Amino acid sequence: MSSSSFKPVSLPDVLEITRPDDWHVHLRDDDVLGMTVPATARVFHRAVVMPNLVPPVSNVSMASAYRQRILAELPEGMTFDPKMALYLTQTTTATDVQDAAADPTIIGFKLYPAGATTNSASGVTDIDGMDAVFDAMQAHGVPLLVHGEVTTSDIDIFDREKVFIDRYLAPITRKFPALKVVFEHITTADAVDFVKSASAHVGATITPQHLLMNRNDLLVGGVHVHNYCLPVLKRRNHQEALQQAALSGNPKFFLGTDSAPHVQANKETACGCAGCFSAFSAIELYAELFAHFGALDKLEGFASFFGADFYGLPRNADKLVLERRTWTAPQRVTHGNTTWVPYWAGRELQYQVRTKSGS
C-alpha cells in the first residue's frame, strides 16, 4: 500500500459504525444468487445492483422480477434492500425514465459505453444522442450512474477515463446541471479532480481494489488475473489520489465495491475476466485502508453516510461492529459445484465483522 500524509495512530480493538451500504455491486443471477446475496447482505443494508445481465435489465418490469429473485435468496433473519439500476440503451425513452422515477426500488440508469466491460455490448453507442433521455432524467430526478471510459481502440487503456471526462462527462454535467451523476469506480487523479470541482449533483464511488492496489499489483512478476478489473488499475500516483479522496471526509466520495464474481475457471484463462470479487471481505478491506492511515474515524462517513445522503435516502439505523483481530480472507469459495477465488484471497486483514445489532 502506497504512502500518504496520514500518520498512524493507536487503533481501537472494537469499532462500531452505522451499518454501511454498497452503492455498486454485481450479484449476477440464477443459482449464483444463493452465494452473492448472503455475502453482500451480511454487511450491507442497501446495495445498488448492476443491470448487466444477459439480456440486460433495461426496464422496470425486468428489474422488479430480478429484485424478487434476489430477495428469494436472502437468508432468514437478514435484512437487505436491493436498489435496482436500469441498463441505459440507445433505445431508452423519456417514458422509461418516467416509469423508473415512479418506482422507489429503482435507483437510476446505468450508462455503459458499448464494449466497456462485462456484458456491455448492449450499452450506449452514441452518448451525444442521449440528450432527450438525460433531460428527462434531470426533470424527474433520476440519477445517472456512469461507467466512465471511452472504448475506441485509438485511446490507450490507461487514458480511457480521462478522455471520457473531457469528451463526454464534463459536457453532460454542463448541459444538464441539475442531473444527479454518480461517477462509478473512479480510478484516476483526473476523476478525483473532476468530482471535486463539479457541482453538488456529482459524486463518485471508489472500490477497495483501486484503493489498495495499483498497476504493479496487476503486472509485476506476471499478470495477476484475480487483480484484473475494469477500469484497469492505474499507476501509483492515481492510487494515492483515490486514497486521499476516500480518507478526506469529502461527502462526494463514498463506498461502492464493484464486487464482480467470475468463476475460477474463467478468470484463470489466457484472456481472463474483468472483475474483483470482494463481497466476502468488503468492509474489512476498506477498514484495512483506513486503519493503515490512522483514519478509522473517517470510515463511517465514507461507508455509511455519504452515499445515502447523496441519493437522498435515510441513513441506516442499525449498527455494524468490527473487531480488531488478524484473520485470513478466504482462499476459495465454492457454491454448488463451482469455485470462485475472492479478491485478497489468502491474505491477512486486521479487522473483521463481529456482529450486527438491530437488524
**Helix or strand or coil: residue 301?**
helix
pLDDT tier, 167 (very low <50, low <70, confident <90, very high otherwise): very high
Active site residues: 258
Burial class, 47, CB count within 10 angstroms (exposed 0-12 / middle 13-18 / buried 19+): buried
User: Is 346 among the domain residues?
Assistant: yes
- Helix H or strand E encompassing 206: strand 202-206
For residue 110, say whether it is annotated as part of any ligand binding site: yes
Rounded Cα gap, residues 304 and 179, in angstroms: 23
Average pLDDT of 322-329?
A: 97
| C-alpha cell recorded at residue 133 | 433521455
Residues 6+ apart with CB under 8 A from 21: 44, 45, 46, 47, 255, 303, 304, 307, 308, 316
Mean pLDDT for the chain overall: 94
Transcribe 313-340 into DSSP letters: -PPP-SEEEEEEEEEE--S-EEETTEEE
- Name beta bridge partners: 111: 146
Instruction: Give the span between the Cα atoms of 228 and 217, in whole angstroms.
Output: 9
Q: What is the percentage of the chain residues whose pLDDT exceeds 90?
A: 90
Q: Is residue 359 part of a domain?
A: no
Instruction: Tell me if 202 is assigned to some domain.
Output: yes
Measured CA distances, 74 to 29, 67, 104 (Å): 13, 11, 20
Q: What is the CA radius of gyration of the chain?
A: 19
Q: Is residue 211 annotated as involved in ligand binding?
A: no
Cα distance between residue 239 and residue 252, in whole Å: 17
Tell whether 22 is in a known binding site: no
d(CA 273, CA 275): 6
pLDDT for position 114:
81
C-alpha cell of 283?
468492509
Record the pTM: 0.95
Instruction: Give the tens place of pLDDT for each residue, 265-315.
Output: 999 987 778 999 999 999 999 999 999 999 999 999 999 999 999 999 999
The pLDDT value given to residue 244:
98
Q: Quote the CA–CA distance of 60 and 71 in Å, as a whole number.
A: 16
The pLDDT-based confidence of 113 (bands split at 50, 70, 90) is confident
DSSP 8-state secondary structure symbol assigned to residue 124: B
Give me the pLDDT at residue 9, please.
67
Using alpha carbons, select from 100, 99, 95, 90 the residue that is nearest to residue 127.
90
Cα–Cα distance for residue pair 100/59, rounded to 1 Å: 8
* pLDDT surpassing 90 at residue 355: no
CB-CB contact of 245 with 171 (8 Å): no
For the chain, what is the domain count?
A: 1
- DSSP class per residue in 57-74: --SHHHHHHHHHHHHTTP
Asked if residue 335 belongs to a known ligand binding site, the reply is no
Q: Is residue 358 part of a domain?
A: no
What does the alpha-carbon distance between residue 150 and residue 128 come to, in Å, rounded to a whole number? Answer: 13
Residue type, 255: L
Q: Has 24 been labeled as part of a binding site?
A: yes
The domain of 240 spans: 14-353
Was 26 annotated as part of a binding site? yes
37 in a structural domain: yes
Report yes or no on 260 lying in a domain: yes
Side chain identity at 240, as an amino acid letter? E
Q: Is 298 annotated as a binding residue?
A: no
Residue 211 falls inside a structural domain: yes
Annotated ligand binding at 204? The verdict is: no
Determine the pLDDT at residue 10: 87
pLDDT above 50: residue 188: yes
Distances (CA, A) of 235 to 188, 232, 241: 9, 10, 10
* 15 annotated ligand binder: no
Q: Is 349 contained in some domain?
A: yes
Cα 96 to the center of its chain, rounded Å: 24
The CATH number linked to 59 is 3.20.20.140
